[in-house]
Amino acid sequence: MTSKLFFALVSISVFFISCKGDEKLADSELIEKNVRAFFFMGDTVDVDVTITDTIHDTDLTEMLATVEENIRLIQLDIDTLTIMIDDWAYKAIDFEKNNQLMESKEAKIKSLDYRVKHQQLEFQKAQFSQTSRILLHLKRSIWANIAGFEATVHYQLGEEVNDLEILMDANYTVVD
């Protein structure tokens, strides 16, 4: 009987000791802690984090729809440019066969111009895809119709002063 009582008392005391270690941080402390972790900052750096905007789930849905539409439109442009690049490359070959070297050179230049535009669109598409990935992360962290926060971070390292814009999810985790 006494061993059961002793075991129960030890279990209860261990429970209370372990619960005391899980003190909940205030929102501002959690934000600062997450910002420091994201930027690998020590405790000696003074950091000022200010939330500048709240992103609600309805705003997020609209942003995701816009990004997806932009990706779709860019892909259409990429497909069109691919056809145009091929067309100008075949024209250049035909001009060369007919010994029209000047026209061949102009067709090759036109093809190269379209390739540059093609690469620029591929880069834009990759940027929109990255934005989509970040927005989908926010969508997974929605809490009480809040998807995330935009914030400014101000800190100084020696003579260097930095002001940055960051994006945090609803749990105050920095995502971008």
pLDDT tens track of the chain, all 176 residues? 555 544 544 455 444 444 444 457 788 889 999 998 998 888 888 899 999 999 999 999 999 999 999 999 999 999 999 999 999 999 999 999 999 999 999 999 999 999 999 999 999 999 999 999 999 999 999 999 999 999 999 998 888 899 999 999 999 999 98
From residue 80, alpha-carbon distances to 117, 118, 128, 175 in Å are 11, 9, 19, 34
Q: How many domains does the chain have?
A: 1
Burial class, 169, CB count within 10 angstroms (exposed 0-12 / middle 13-18 / buried 19+):
buried
Is residue 174, in this structure, part of any structural domain at all? no
Is residue 10, in this structure, part of any structural domain at all? yes
From residue 3, alpha-carbon distances to 7, 10, 14, 157 in Å are 6, 10, 16, 59
Is residue 33, in this structure, part of any structural domain at all? yes
Identify whether the C-beta of residue 153 lies closer than 8 Å to the C-beta of residue 164.
yes
Q: Which of 127, 174, 145 is nearest to 60 (CA)?
A: 145
Is residue 176, in this structure, part of any structural domain at all? no
Q: What tokens appear for 1 in the block?
A: 């009987």
Phi/psi of residue 52, nearest 5 degrees: -105, -20
Residue type for position 62:
E
Is residue 43, in this structure, part of any structural domain at all? yes
Which runs of E-coded beta strand occur in the chain?
47-56, 146-157, 160-169
Give the domain range for residue 163: 2-169
Q: What tokens appear for 152 in the block?
A: 């400014």
